[in-house]
Amino acid sequence: MSLPPPESELHRLMTQFPRVGQLRWIGLRPARNVPMRAVDSAEAVVGRGLHGDRYASASGKRGITLIQAEHLPVIAALVGLNAVETAALRRNLVVSGIPLIALKGRRFRIGDVLCEGTAPCDPCSRMEATLGPGGYNAMRGHGGLCARVLQGGTLRVGDAVTWIED
């Protein structure tokens, strides 16, 4: 997704963020059908994803999955729960303060790690079992973002999340 011409009003709107985001949570899942494991830091590997996560594959487009912290209460409300367990949603990173959808097709940094948003992170059918009936639909539009790692490094809870203008 390319930006409109720099002189346009739409370009100005699409490149204006009210504040810097923050990495709130990191989770790894070393194998299929095992629970996510919360960690304070993780190594991001170029073209792969997070070291120790089962999705750290050569495909790269889904190297890292992110979800918006502000969406967690919405998901919980839509399925009639007081809260949802972060790890149950099966995303690697929980980010607050910056709209993830605005990072689709764009480069951004989490701390020193350079990423590119590749696609929405659509929910899987396991959300029905995890969240209860309607869990899949509750996640639609709130599932977050998939990203590839362009420049590796260590991610740490508390790292800033910033958009990079091309």
CB 88 within 8 A of CB 144: no
Q: Is residue 142 assigned to a domain?
A: yes
Residue listed under structure tokens 């991610």:
155
Longest dimension (CA), the chain: 49
For the chain, residues with pLDDT lower than 50 are none
Q: Is residue 1 assigned to a domain?
A: no
Q: Is residue 80 assigned to a domain?
A: yes
Q: Is residue 5 assigned to a domain?
A: no
Containing structural domain, residue 49: 19-164
pLDDT, residue 153, reads 97
* 150/158 Cα distance (integer angstroms): 20
The CATH number linked to 75 is 2.40.33.20
Q: Is residue 4 assigned to a domain?
A: no
Structural domain tally of the chain?
A: 1
Q: What is the DSSP string of 69-98?
A: GGGHHHHHHHHT-S---GGGG--SEEEESS
Q: Is residue 3 assigned to a domain?
A: no
pLDDT, residue 17, reads 78
pTM confidence score: 0.90
pLDDT, residue 19, reads 84
Q: Is residue 7 assigned to a domain?
A: no
pLDDT, residue 12, reads 77
Residue 108 token pair: 């951004």
Q: Is residue 72 assigned to a domain?
A: yes
